[in-house]
């Protein structure tokens, strides 16, 4: 859990990690309203021959990197309340990050 103005918008955001690997950002806009942005990667863990689905509760730009920061998928846009399918058959087993402009998540690829 962490607090800060991560969007540089003058509001305080609360970042909360979940046991399943997701990260939620709660935006305390104007000191009264909390807006939760979900970003979920599933199945998690995934097999190399599966398709990864990424769901977002908000419009945002996403990028997928490995743990060293190497870009695996170039930035792409996801619309509010939708999911996209990502082909992961060429990726090595390991932990990957899904970085968004409003939230983050991670997923693990098994053998």
Mean pLDDT computed over every residue of the chain: 81
Residue 78's nearest CA partner among 53, 109, 95 is: 53
Q: Where do the domains of the chain lie?
A: 2-110
Q: How confident is the model over 26-69, as pLDDT tens digits?
A: 766 655 455 677 888 888 899 888 899 999 888 999 999 998 99
Whether 48 contacts 95, CB under 8 Å:
no
pLDDT over threshold 90, residue 5:
no
Which residue has tokens 């990726």? 91
Which residue has tokens 């103005």? 5
Lookup: tokens for 42? 């599933």
Evaluate if pTM is beyond 0.75.
Answer: no
Tell me the C-alpha distance between 17 and 25, whole Å: 9
User: Is the peptide bond prior to 43 cis by the omega test (within 30 degrees of 0)?
Assistant: yes
Q: Does domain 2-110 match CATH 3.30.70.20?
A: no
To the nearest whole percent, how much of the chain has pLDDT over 70?
A: 80
């Amino acid at each position: 859990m962490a607090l800060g103005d991560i969007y540089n918008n003058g509001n305080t955001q609360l970042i909360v990690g979940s046991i399943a690997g997701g990260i939620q950002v709660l935006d305390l806009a104007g000191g009264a309203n909390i807006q939760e942005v979900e970003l979920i990667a599933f199945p998690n863990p995934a097999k190399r021959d599966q398709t990864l689905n990424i769901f977002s509760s908000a419009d945002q730009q996403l990028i997928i990197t490995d743990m060293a920061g190497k870009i695996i998928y170039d930035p792409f846009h996801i619309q509010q309340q939708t999911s996209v399918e990502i082909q992961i058959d060429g990726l090595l087993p390991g932990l990957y990050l899904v970085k968004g402009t409003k939230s983050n998540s991670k997923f693990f690829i098994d053998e």
